[in-house]
Structure 1
Amino acid sequence: MATRIAVRHVSRRLSSSGRILSEEEKAAENVYIKKTEQEKLEKLARKGPKPEEKPIDTKPSSSASSAAGPSTEKVSTDKYRNYAVIAGVVTTFGALGWYLKSSGKKEEVRD
């Protein structure tokens, strides 16, 4: 759904040049977005699950697998996501430091 909203926003910004889309254009855009999302889902279904992912288990889990599951499920193994989190934290502290440093400098207005 987020993909649909992002595509709609970008397409309206770039192609519409500030004009409001007609109902037919909105409908055509929605059909295109649904078609591309369906194609992505079909492509993923054909590709199959990744080797590191577990297949979805519909049976209730046993006590042995549930004991090991919760401790490892919340740890991210995606290194790019981890880099993004670190970059976000560094940026936040940098912005906070810049704000605090600049708030102490107040010039007096002289007449």
Structure 2
Amino acid sequence: MATRNALKIVSRRFSGSGKVLSEEERAAENVFIKKMEKEKLEKIAQQGPVQAAGSASEVKASGASAESGPKVSEDKYRNYAVVAGVVTIFGGIGWYLKAGRKKQPQAQE
């Protein structure tokens, strides 16, 4: 599903003229998308029963929009990046506020 949406956005973005796709173009695009999804599922099936079961559940989970339960990232590097980003943002805000509080030197007469 995400692949299909991404291909639609990319094809419309780079079509150049900004026109809406004709019926023939849309049909050709849908055939291409279905072919790509079929190839992806076949590749998962060839990986083996143990790996395919995990991959197939991931494909179903990514395609399902009404899934119960929280969506938590399992990628530890992504989690580190989020934490680093939050720390950087708060550090930048603190630096900005601290810099704004400096007193201007008063001219002595």
2:25 matches 1:25: yes
TM-score, normalization by structure 1 = 0.57
Moved over 6 A (4+): none
Given the superposition, is the C-alpha separation of residues 88 and 75 from structure 1 closer, same or farther in structure 2, using an over 3 Å criterion? closer
Given the superposition, is the C-alpha separation of residues 46 and 97 from structure 1 closer, same or farther in structure 2, using an over 3 Å criterion? same
Task: Tell me the residue number matched to 2:65.
Answer: none
Count of residue pairs the alignment pairs up:
81
Question: What stretches of structure 2 of length at least 5 have no aligned partner?
Answer: 58-71, 102-109
Task: Tell me the residue number matched to 1:35.
Answer: 35
Task: Tell me the residue number matched to 1:88.
Answer: 82
* RMSD over equivalenced CA pairs, Å: 2.9
> Is residue 73–residue 79 contact of structure 2 (8 Å, CA) maintained in 1?
no
Equivalent positions of 1:1-111 (< 5 A) are 1-14=1-14, 16-17=15-16, 18-48=18-48, 49-50=50-51, 76=74, 81-102=75-96, 105=100
Q: Percent same amino acid at aligned positions?
A: 44
More contact order relative to length (CA 8 Å, sep ≥ 6): 2
CA deviation after TM superposition for structure 1 residue 13, in Å: 1.5
Question: What stretches of structure 1 of length at least 5 have no aligned partner?
Answer: 57-73, 107-111
CA deviation after TM superposition for structure 1 residue 11, in Å: 2.1
What SS does the aligned partner of 2:80 have? helix
